[in-house]
Amino acid sequence: MYKVPKEKIKEFNKEDYKSVDKFVKRLTTTMKVILVPSFIFSILLYLFVFISLILMFKSFTDEKSINIVKELERNYDKKFTIVSEELIDDSDNGLYKVSPKDNKDIVCNVVKYFGEVQEDYGKLSVKYFIDKWDNAEIKYAMTIEESIENDRFFNKYPIYTKYDIYIDIEDYSQIEEATRKLYEIKQYIEGNVGKYLVYPRLRINEYWSTVYYEKDYNVDQYIRYEKYEYIDYLKRENKDLSEIPIEEIENVYFPRSLKVIVNGKNISIDSPEGYENYTVAKYNAPEGVYRIDIRYILNNLDNVEIIDNKAGTMKGFRYNGIEYELVFSEDKAKRNKVYYNIKIDDLKQIFSGAEIEYDYQNSKLNINIL
């Protein structure tokens, strides 16, 4: 075996390795700077995950109160309490009996199925307040039919209480009086329940009115609406109209829609090739006016400058040196702000000299704007 001669072995001198020592110290310091924060970050991350899992579990266990009580409180702006429950699994799914804290006489049914909650509080409260109503005349005139509907998730639970409230009359001449009573029912329910979930209806023999009293129309508008829908029904079904005076029909009934022709040209909208789909003005029966989306008309006028927003959508237009802004709430329509679903006759306020001709016989609306 080869041995290194002693004279070639150099005695260790610490000064010769001072630079190496400095490097090692720097490396150690650097590793501490890197590893210590990483270690702390890892601990914090594990803590975050652990706490998140605890919160998720707590949320899951509290799902019953969140999805039932809090949802009812959010929908009806009042406090509720659970009276009883019939659960079908460990996830709190099942049937609950719930009451508003300010009225224990009302006990509603609530079915919870994981993320979905269905209830009949609104309908039950309507029935409750109508039973307490002291208006004998209207209560005598109306009929309330109660039925039970099974929940689509739990067919064994016959829980959904359903009410049909209606007034029976014999003919057209009684529509106005009946509508006034239906309107009073609407106001009473809205004043006591708030959220209006049961709509009273009108029935004339086999005819069921399609007018629902959820809009903010006044009573005269509802009367016109009811009369219009009944005449329209008789016309569609080829029923006898002789009971209604001709003058009444001419005053109340107009075609539901009119094909719009602007400056002699039909206004068509995008449609499959080979199929003509014309823009129409639609009749609003409660208001007794025709309306149209003014953008269809503007796009077909040569003397109007369209103003688009950055997304390329029409936001306004310029006509005769005046700039107009389109708005999507009629309450905001004033001065140079124009409601997009404009009344036909209001076109004359924008386009001076506009000529409007209603051709009811041919279901056409001729508009000339120069």
Residues 6+ apart with CB under 8 A from 267: 260, 261, 278, 279, 296, 297, 300
pLDDT, position 113: 77
Q: Residue 245 pLDDT more than 90?
A: yes
Residues 271 and 232 grouped into a single domain: no
CB 284 within 8 A of CB 346: no
Q: Are residues 243 and 282 in the same domain?
A: no
Among candidate residues 369, 362, 192, 356, the one with its CA nearest the CA of residue 289:
356
pLDDT band at 77 (very low <50, low <70, confident <90, very high): confident
Residue 153 in any domain: the answer is yes
Does position 223 have pLDDT exceeding 80, yes or no?
Answer: yes
Count of structural domains within the chain: 4
- Can you tell me which residue has the tokens 């109340």? 252
Look at residue 322 and give its three-state secondary structure.
strand
Looking at the structure, do residues 271 and 184 belong to the same domain, yes or no?
A: no
pLDDT in tens, 266-285: 876 554 444 445 688 999 99
**Helices marked H in the chain:** 18-61, 63-64, 71-76, 121-132, 136-141, 175-193, 219-236, 246-252, 294-298, 347-350
Cα dihedral across residues 347, 351, 352, 353: positive or negative:
negative
- Residue-number span of the structural domain to which 196 is assigned: 121-253
| 265-266/257-262 β-pairing | antiparallel
pLDDT digits (tens, 9 = 90+) for 170-220: 999 999 999 999 999 999 988 888 765 677 899 999 999 999 888 889 999
Instruction: Give me the pLDDT at residue 70, please.
Output: 87
Secondary structure of 15-27 in HEC code, one letter for each residue: HHHHHHHHHHHHH
**Residue 146, domain member (yes or no):** yes
Reduce the DSSP state of residue 198 to 3 states and report it. Answer: coil
Same domain, 161 and 248: yes
Q: Are residues 216 and 227 in the same domain?
A: yes
pLDDT at residue 57 in the model: 47
Last residue of a domain, one of 253, 280, 315: 253
Per-residue pLDDT, 248:
96
Mean pLDDT over the full length of the chain = 83
Q: Same structural domain for residues 179 and 261?
A: no
Q: What's the token pair of residue 367?
A: 């508009």
Distances (CA, A) of 41 to 36, 45, 61, 105: 9, 6, 30, 56
Query: What's the pLDDT band for 154 if we cut at 50, 70, 90?
Result: low
Per the structure block, which two tokens stand in for 115?
């993320």
Are residues 50 and 92 located together in one domain of the fold? no
Q: What is the pLDDT of residue 58?
A: 46
Assign 52 to helix, strand or coil. helix
CA distance 137 to 126: 18
269/187 same-domain check: no
In this structure, are 202 and 130 located in the same domain? Answer: yes
Do 52 and 96 reside in the same domain of the chain? no
Instruction: Check whether residue 87 and residue 148 sit in a common domain.
Output: no
Please tell me the predicted confidence (pLDDT) of residue 274: 46
